[in-house]
Each structure stands twice: as C-alpha cells, then as structure tokens.
Amino acid sequence: MNGFVSRGFSRRRQTPEELADRLPPGQYAEAGFPVLTAGPTPDVGTDAWSFRVDGMVGEERAWSWEEFHQLPFETVPCDIHCVTKWSKLGTSFGGVSVDTLLDQAEPLGAYAMAFSYGGYTANLPIEDLTDGKAWVVTEHEGEPLPREHGGPARLLVPHLYFWKSAKWVAGLRVMDHDEPGFWESNGYHNYGDPWKEQRYWTD
C-alpha cells in the first residue's frame, strides 16, 4: 500500500518535536491515562496481596506487601505505549526492579509468565525482565497506584506494549519454554515491540 494518501487529510495533532521522536509508529501522545481491561476490575487489598516467583527456579520466593516494601525502591521515569494507539510520554512509576526479585529465586528457564489476581496472564522472555528493563510498581507519579491501573501492584515493562505490564500482578512463573498469555492467545503479538509495531499475530 505504499504511496496511498488519504484525500484531504493533514496533521491535526501537534506533538512537540522533542517528544515526536519518542512516539513509536502509529502512536499518538495522550496526556491522560486511559483504562483498558478485558473484565471487571479486581479488588485486591494489600493485606491479601503477595508477589511470588515460582516455576523453574532454584528457590520459590514470595513477598508479602510488607516484605516487598523492605526491598530497594526505585523511581522509574518512562514512556508507555498502549497497543490501542495512545502513548503516555514522560510519566513515572515507583517500585522494585524485577532483577531484585528474580535474583533471590534464581530463574532456571528463559521465559516467564506474569500472572495476576483475576486470572490475567502475559508472557515475556526473561531477558526482557532483567538488566533494569522491568519493575513491579506500586506507585504512579508519586501516588499509590490506583486500582483501575492495576493497584496495588502491576508489572512495568515500558519497552514493550503496555498489555505486557500486567495489572494486579501476583507473580512470575519461570518456564523453560514460551507460551502465549491472555492477549497473546487472543490475536495480539507474542512479543509486542512498539518500535516494530508488533500489534497483532501477523505483524
């Protein structure tokens, strides 16, 4: 379809130049923080919340809300990109690096399935979760993460489309093979690199 031009179309939305470079193809900058969820919003209290690393690991580990907050806490400035075309540039989250969590469990496989309260799942290669690329976050822009955005805690993997950043995250299951998660089984790309516009299966 090279060369197709939409009759009478011109740019309406002005994105400042310094931000334009941070927008992957097909995305537009959105000031708000839209909510997209495939089902009702789970209500997970911090008393009941825990985060576990299990599956193919040297040692299964689990942290209660209190134990989790003893771990080194980082503020993560980032851009996020939703597959439904909006990007939120220059936002920030606060939480614990996945490196810290995985180090204590010794992963033995190359893949992981993030699993959530409410049953949601998302698959990721371990290498996309390590070396400072992923966090389990409990704050957004300095405030407790709102429930509709995955509070009390969600995964944050800003370099992939945001469905990989599982809301209401309950843990990571380490596996020796890759398996599609929820959206990956329902038409969305298995890996989801926004810069390659890997939105759907055939991308």
Partner 1 sequence: MDRLASQAPLTPVEQRAPGRWQVGTVTSIKQETPRVKSFRIQLPMWMPHLPGQHYDVRLTAPDGYRAERSYSVASSPLDEGEIELTIDLLADGEVSPYFHEVVVQGDQVEVRGPFASYFVWRGEAPVLLVGGGSGVVPLMAMLRHRRRTMPELEMRLVYSIRSAEDVIYADELGDDAVLTFTREPPDGWTGHTGRIDGSLIADADPDFGVAFICGSNGFVESASELMMQAGVAPERIRTERFGPTG
Binding site for partner 1 (CB under 8 A): 1, 4-13, 25-28, 30, 32, 34-42, 82, 84-86, 118-119, 148, 182-183, 186-188, 199-203
β pairing state of 86-97 and 61-64: unpaired
Residue 135 vs 162, nearer CB to partner 1: 162
198 Cβ contact list (under 8 Å, min separation 6): 161, 189, 191, 192
Residue 92 vs 185, nearer CB to partner 1: 185
Instruction: Please state, in angstroms and as integers, the Cα–Cα distance from residue 31 to each residue in 5, 139, 150, 158, 185, following that order.
Output: 28, 18, 19, 17, 30
Alpha carbons within 13 A on the beta-carbon side of 60: 8
Residue 13 vs 177, nearer CB to partner 1: 13
In angstroms, the CA 113 to CA 83 distance is 19
Residue 10 vs 72, nearer CB to partner 1: 10
In angstroms, the CA 113 to CA 174 distance is 7
Residue 60 vs 148, nearer CB to partner 1: 148
CB of 71 to partner 1, least distance (A): 30
In angstroms, the CA 62 to CA 68 distance is 9
CB of 198 to partner 1, least distance (A): 11
CB of 159 to partner 1, least distance (A): 20
CB of 149 to partner 1, least distance (A): 11
CB of 10 to partner 1, least distance (A): 5
CB of 203 to partner 1, least distance (A): 6
Residue 63 vs 117, nearer CB to partner 1: 117
Considering only CA atoms, which of 131, 187, 117, 123 is closest in space to residue 160? 123
In angstroms, the CA 199 to CA 27 distance is 11
How remote is the C-alpha of 7 from its chain's centroid? 37
